[in-house]
């Protein structure tokens, strides 16, 4: 779904920078974890950055 926009199309890259399921799978594979765990880790990191007053766009 360009996983970031929530459109429901996990394999579509609508714009440069969109995250597809293939991107998530590749990132997960690099860390020997499943894609859902990789997504959980990304969410946790983004939340930590936000909570610590980190950069937001």
In angstroms, the CA 21 to CA 27 distance is 10
- CA distances, 18 to each of 5, 30, 34, 38, 51 (Å): 8, 19, 20, 16, 24
Cβ–Cβ < 8 Å for 20, 11? yes
* Domains of the chain by residue range: 2-51
- pLDDT, tens digit, 9 for 90 and up, residues 4-39: 999 999 999 999 999 999 999 999 999 999 999 999
pLDDT recorded at residue 1: 58
């Amino acid at each position: 779904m360009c996983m970031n926009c929530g459109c429901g199309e996990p394999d579509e890259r609508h714009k440069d920078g969109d995250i597809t399921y293939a991107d998530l799978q590749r990132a997960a594979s690099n860390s020997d974890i499943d894609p859902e765990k990789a997504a959980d880790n990304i969410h946790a990191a983004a939340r930590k950055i936000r909570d610590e007053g980190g950069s937001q766009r």
